[in-house]
Every structure is written in structure tokens, then in C-alpha cells.
Structure 1
Amino acid sequence: MAILPIIETPDPLLKQVSQPVDAVTDELRVLMDDMLETMYAAPGIGLAAVQVGHPVRALVIDLQELPEGEEDDEKRVRNPMYFVNPEILETSEEMTSYNEGCLSVPEQYADVKRPSTITARWLDYDGKPHEREIGGFLATVLQHEMDHLEGVLFIDHLSKLKRDMVLKKLTKMRRLAA
């Protein structure tokens, strides 16, 4: 497995709509494995293929949750999930706000409102179809990653003023790091 470079805003590739995948192939599985390795190294909990330069409809998620009663970060359990050609079939009217961040908009966070529950359909790592209702944090993360497939960043959900503030902070952070 390889760690891939993560594309950051304002790279125009992040605004491109990703293309559907014809079939889950060995080549796509290698890409998704590399995406997972890249995501873990970043560290993050979700990554879309377009964020590593491949504008195809594939993404990986691993919430890396702590077992109940545990507080030690070293005890986080990896549970990678693979989503190929994901679609949202239904959304709840109830909305949830979450303070989101993104590996393509490093070290910047803002509250984004999204439907609390979604019904989604996708293919897994082996090309097997799935359809199910998803709620909670996974619903938020899946919607965030699926936005990438449409060329949308979490900051695009913000008001122009808030988005400009985030981008200004990102520019200042990059300038200070140079």
C-alpha cells in the first residue's frame, strides 16, 4: 500500500464531478486500499478518490471508534468501509449540525447542517450492492465524502462570509508555514 498526496483547495480538481465506476476491479481495490492508508496517515476518517487525484465515484470511511468505556486513543478499533458509486435515495427532514473538517481544507473547521438520516445505495470492496438507512455520525461523514464526488467542499455549505474567513485563515496558515 502507498500513501498518496492529498489535493488541497483551491485545486480545481476538487470542483470536478467524479465519474461513475464501471466495475469494482483489482485496480480500484488497490486505489481504495491506498486511500485508506493515506487517510490513516493524515489522520482522517473519510477520503474520496478525487482528493488523491482520481475523479471516480469511490470513497473510504473509518470512524475508528473507541470501544464502549474506553478513553485511550490507542484502543480505537479500525472498521474500514468502502463505498463505490454511492447514491443517496432519501434524506430525513430532521437536520444535524456537526463541526466538520476536511483533509483538503487542512486544520479548518465549521458547523455544517445535514440531514440526520439518509438511505443510501452503494457497492462495497467486492462489488456487492448494499442499500440501507444510515444515521448518526456515519450519515454526516458519508454525506461529506459524497459531496466531494459532486465537486463540493464542506466550506461550500457556509455563508460567503464564513467561507471567506475559513479560506483567509487557511491562506495565513500556509504563509506562516512557508
Structure 2
Amino acid sequence: MRHGSIPGAHGQVRPLTLLGDPVLREPCREVTGFGPELARLVEDMFATMYAAQGVGLAANQVGEALRVFVYDCPDDEDVRHLGHVVNPRLVEADGLVVRGPEGCLSLPGLEAGTERHDHAVVEGFTVTGEPVTVHGTGFFARCLQHECDHLEGRVYADHLTGWRRRKLMRQAARASWARTGSLT
């Protein structure tokens, strides 16, 4: 990305992978090349996230099984957090556990009350290979945990149990975007 440019302004919107696509269930590979291909992927991910009106997007949500995510997400004080992390590691998830509404661009139009910690710290790298540490609280902490889950092959529905999980999976099965076959 060029310094000072708006993330995603030069990216291409890619198709989103939806629940039922196997790439969402596989742990993603570490990024080993920090060159123009990675920069292009991050730029495309921002463009795709903005087009879909999301606050975060993991690479496997655009069909790339790589450990990368982007975000443009407010915290509970409405402070905007904008960035990306390559090869992220969730190093802290602590504080209060809060159940709040959570959705996902790979389960469009659906959401469920999902428990997450209200504080999270992610360490990783920028597209140029510089170390980065991202601290999140409230809604932004939820976003960081959600995106790290994607890179491990998990979706927010995996945190649900009982009637909440059954209800979400019924809604997903009836959704216009649902694939035939398994929605796990």
C-alpha cells in the first residue's frame, strides 16, 4: 500500500467464501513471502470488506488459506481501529466475558449472541514484515478474536451451544446463499 492512500482504493473486490466452503474449516498457512502479491491480497481484502460493509475480513473468506486479516472496526468508545495483521497470534484474550451480537461476512444476514473476552492482544507483522502488536477492547476485541478464529478454521457459530447454535444453523440452512450439503 502506498503511504497515505486509502486502504482498498486500488484493490479488487473478490467473491466471499460462505459457510459450507471447506477453506473456512482449514487452518491457514503462515505467510512466507512479504512481496507485491501479499500487498495486493491485503488491498483486495480491504476493498472486499468495504464492499460487503464488514469490520474485519480474514484471507480464507476470499478463498486464500493464508494467515492474514484486515480490519476497520470501532471499539466501544467509538474509536476507529484500521489495519491489517500478517501471521497473527492471539496472545491475550482476557477480561470480562461478554455475550454480544456477532455476525460474519461468510454467514451474510445472520447474527447470534456470542461470548467473547472484552480485551484481546494480537501480535504479527505488516505486509512489509514489520512487527506489529494490536490491542483491542470491547467490540474491537471481539473483532480480533473473530478474525483469529477464522485463521484457525473456526467461525463464530463454533462458540455457540444449545438453542443458540441450533437456531443459527437452521437460519443458515434456509438462507438464500446456503450451499447444498453440510453447513458445518
Short-chain TM bin:
0.7 to 0.9
Q: 1:41 to 1:175 in 2, by over 3 A?
A: closer
* RMSD value, Cα: 2.4
Match of 2:117 among 115, 140, 144: 115
Equivalent in the alignment of 1:72? none
Structure in which a larger fraction of residues adopt helix:
1
The 1-side partners of 2:171 and 2:136 are apart by 33
Partners of 1:139 and 1:5 lie apart in 2 by 26
Equivalent residues of 1:16, 1:151 under 8 A apart: yes
Structure 2 length normalisation: TM-score? Answer: 0.82
Q: CA deviation at 1:128?
A: 1.1
Moved over 3 A (4+): 77-80
Cα deviation 1:33-73 (Å, max 9, x = unaligned): 001101100111110000101000000001268x97xxxxx
In the alignment, structure 1 residue 147 sits paired with structure 2 residue 149: yes
CA–CA separation in structure 1 for the residues paired with 2:94 and 2:49: 29
**2 CA distance for matches of 1:132 and 1:79?**
9
Question: Residue 55 of structure 2 aligns with which residue?
Answer: 45
Tell me the distance in 2 between the aligned counterparts of 1:96 and 1:162. Answer: 15
Secondary structure of the residue aligned to 1:20 is coil
SS in 2 for 1:106: coil
**Hey, what's the Cα distance between the residues in 2 that align with 1:174 and 1:12?**
19
SS of residue paired to 2:57: strand
**1:79 & 1:30 partners in 2: Cα distance?**
21
Partner residue in 2 for 1:165: 167
Residue 175 of structure 1 and its aligned partner are, at CA, apart by: 7.8
On the 8 A contact 1:23/1:127 being kept in 2, the answer is no
TM-score computed with the length of structure 1 as normaliser: 0.84
**Unaligned residue ranges in structure 2 (runs of 5+):** 1-10, 179-184
Q: Which runs of 5+ in 1 are unaligned?
A: 69-76
Whichever residue aligns with residue 10 of structure 1, its letter is G
Structure 2 contact 55–72 (Cα < 8 Å) conserved: yes
- 8 A contact 1:13–1:50 mirrored in 2: yes
Match of 1:98 in 2: 100
Q: Which amino acid aligns with 1:47?
A: L
Partner of 1:156: 158
Measure, in 1, the Cα distance between the counterparts of 2:159 and 2:119: 18
Query: Counterpart of 1:73?
Result: none
**CA 1:84–1:53: 2 relative to 1, 3 Å:** same
Relative distance call for 1:78 and 1:162 in structure 2 (3 A) is: closer
Percent identity among equivalent residues?
35
CA distance in 1, matches of 2:131, 2:158: 30
Partner Cα distance (1:173, 1:49) in 2: 23
Moved more, 117-126 or 29-38: 117-126
